[in-house]
Amino acid sequence: MPEAENTLHPMSTDDDAHVKLADETARVELADEAALVDLADEAATMALGAALAADIERLPGTVIYLSGDLGAGKTTLTRGFLRALGFAGRVKSPTYTLVELYVISKLNLYHFDFYRFSDPDEWQEAGFRDLFNQTNICLVEWPEKAGELLPLPDLHITLTTAMGTAPHATRTATLMAQTPRGLGILKHLVLTQPVLKPAK
């Protein structure tokens, strides 16, 4: 049985533009440097990750912060991102290892999780600074644990759970662009029509 496909429609020209997935699992509102996405379930969170990857794979050097409580969907979004890039293996949050490297074609993607940090200086001592460069893509869970030592993100995504339990929890993702590159990614998300595929 073929997978269902959900398409992100182009943004309208209205000031308060709304962009809906074809199955209406998400709504995206763009206002300057921010976007709000309502996610109906885990599959929609995966779809958002895939939509981001559609542009970011052409932008090595991108840094994305992923904030939210435990179970909010940070790793799920990362999984959707990696699936869209062609990675079919297991994706888990590197809570104990702190970082997981995924090499996809010529792309190096580093998935960080700083949940266990008790002091921001631990990030400095871990020697991760050199990984944040113009070649790698870095997705960072719990960036607040590293304080102000982390490089400025291009995009900061905050996930909140409104109701329900995984995989059917309703979530909201707030996307904030903090650099010109981040704003370009955000605009690409709402102005293009990437095909979004629910997770298997």
pLDDT, tens digit (0-9, with 9 covering 90-100), for 34-72: 888 888 888 888 989 988 888 776 788 999 999 988 888
pLDDT for position 102 = 93
DSSP state letter for 115 = T
pLDDT for position 147 = 80
Task: Let me know: does 111 contact 100? Beta carbons within 8 Å.
Answer: yes
pLDDT for position 32 = 58
Strand-by-strand arrangement of the 137-141 sheet: 17-20, 27-31, 34-39, 170-177, 155-163, 63-67, 137-141, 107-113, 99-104
Torsion angles phi and psi, residue 40, rounded to 5: -75, -30
Distance CA 121, CA 93 (A): 21
What residues of the chain score a pLDDT lower than 70? 1-32, 57, 163-169, 190-200
The whole-model pTM stands at 0.76
Q: Angle of helix 180-191 relative to helix 42-56, nearest 10 degrees?
A: 120
% of the chain surpassing 90 pLDDT: 26
